[in-house]
Amino acid sequence: MRRNPVPKSKSRPRAVFFLAVVLALAVAFPLAGQTPDRYLDAAPTRDGSVRLVIFNPETFNIRALATLRKNGTLDIPGLIVIGVYHVKQTANFDESRKYVQENGLDWFKFHEVSAAISEPGLFRKNACTPEYELIVKKADGVIFFGGPDIPASVFGEKTNLLTEITDPYRHWFEASAVFHLLGGFQDEKFVPLLETRPGFPVLGICLGHQTLNVGTGGTLVQDIWSELYAKTTVEDVIALGPEQWHNNPYRLLFPLDKLIGYNFHSLQLGDKSLFVTAMGFKSSDHPRILSSHHQAIEKLGKGLVAVASSRDGRVVEAVEHKKYPNVLGVQFHPEHPLLFDAEPRHRQKPGDAPTSFRAILEGTPPSLEFNQKIWSWFAGKLVESHGR
């Protein structure tokens, strides 16, 4: 049966409309079989770019690196940063992609991992092993950033009532990564990936510092104030004084006052630490650092040595590796974007006049230089690693 053709004047607008709808849906809802962002798969083993892998590419961590690059603190021409994460982590990495796109950060890429990972198989070869091998093969260094508490079961202990577990897959994925990179007490016969690239730089920041320890078979103090100082009230903690605070206790008493959650305290540097031997500081220097944590290293992991502490010696503030010279863990935050911001907008306790993080560092030399030197040292090691 012959049908009357639809007039072109009507069919074309309709066709254009449906095409627009299809394109919009394709953008909003990618096909189920579409390949996820996996930058390292197609990247050549070596090219002109220095490649830095960061685990857990949340927006804050990307913004921190962008700020460090913008102000010249992390100065590496041709740097490519690859954010690696597991699909079962709780962070919203769509927001991270949006931040990268909106800010034109064409130097930032993503690499998504979906291989199975679970607690019983963390410290041996597992389904994620090829991902860790790929990182060491195609990147020039790694950063593990800050974050929430590691599940105590990962380091063989029961869970303290003050431990808060929010993202187990992140901890499993990153602790297993550390074990693959550095080895650990969990399996003395395991051959670490850094055996093939011993100069590969690894930086752990706050949680990342703790993950270096747990991944190599160490343990953690699950709550500093109650376990190390035997304090169970906020008032008793405040009475200890700021050098014994590793976050700001006043925020617990005055939640409406918009106080910072961080605390600044000073360090005791070891004579043979990278801070002294490679960055030019003296053990008599006591730089101030930005601190926000309630857990700390207890028993050291395999190959790690403590190289800085709180002034009273109770909290390990930095670790290095005996065998791999460019591994550094710091319990503090040298990456925070506000460290280098001069705008006075922060208060630690009620009645304080607003000040800036930068002013605090500048007022206690060599604190500002100390936080900056960590990044210039790390940048130099990334470039060296790229050339090998």
pLDDT, one tens digit per residue, over 100-110 is: 999 999 999 99
> β-strands 142-144, 50-55: how paired?
parallel
Strand order of the β-sheet with 79-86 is 108-113, 79-86, 50-55, 142-144, 202-205, 327-330, 316-321, 304-310, 263-269, 288-291
Q: Which residue has the tokens 């502490």?
A: 309
Superfamily per CATH, domain 34-223+268-277+293-340+370-386: Class I glutamine amidotransferase (GATase) domain (3.40.50.880)
CB atoms within 10 A of CB 69: 18
Q: What are the CA-CA distances from residue 189 to residues 118, 192, 210, 321 (Å)?
A: 21, 9, 23, 18
Q: Which residue has the tokens 């206790």?
A: 249
Q: Which residue has the tokens 């009273």?
A: 312
pLDDT at 36: 65
- What pLDDT tens digit does each residue of the chain (388 aa) get? 444 444 444 444 454 444 444 444 444 444 333 356 999 999 999 888 999 999 999 999 999 999 999 999 999 999 999 999 999 999 999 999 999 999 999 999 999 999 999 999 999 999 999 999 999 999 999 999 999 999 999 999 999 999 999 999 999 999 999 999 999 999 999 999 999 999 999 999 999 999 999 999 999 999 999 999 999 999 999 999 999 999 999 999 999 999 999 999 999 999 999 999 999 999 999 999 999 999 999 999 999 999 999 999 999 999 999 999 999 999 999 999 999 899 999 999 999 999 999 999 999 999 999 999 999 999 999 999 998 8
Give every CB contact of residue 184 below 8 A, 6+ residues apart in sequence. Answer: 123, 178, 190, 215, 216, 217, 301, 302
Q: Domain locations in the chain?
A: 34-223+268-277+293-340+370-386
Q: Determine contact, residues 259/250, Cβ cutoff 8 Å.
A: yes
pLDDT at 387: 81
Q: Determine contact, residues 81/109, Cβ cutoff 8 Å.
A: yes
Coil vs helix vs strand at 29: coil
Q: Determine contact, residues 51/138, Cβ cutoff 8 Å.
A: yes
Question: Residue 150 half-sphere exposure, CB side, CA atoms within 13 Å?
Answer: 33
Q: Determine contact, residues 205/143, Cβ cutoff 8 Å.
A: yes
CB atoms within 10 A of CB 5: 7
Rounded Cα–Cα distance for residues 172 and 190 (Å):
18
Sign of CA dihedral 32, 34, 39, 44: positive
Rounded Cα–Cα distance for residues 102 and 59 (Å):
12
* Phi, psi for 307 (deg, rounded to 5): -125, 0
Q: What are the CA-CA distances from residue 237 to residues 91, 246, 297, 315, 317 (Å)?
A: 32, 10, 20, 15, 19
pLDDT at 35: 52
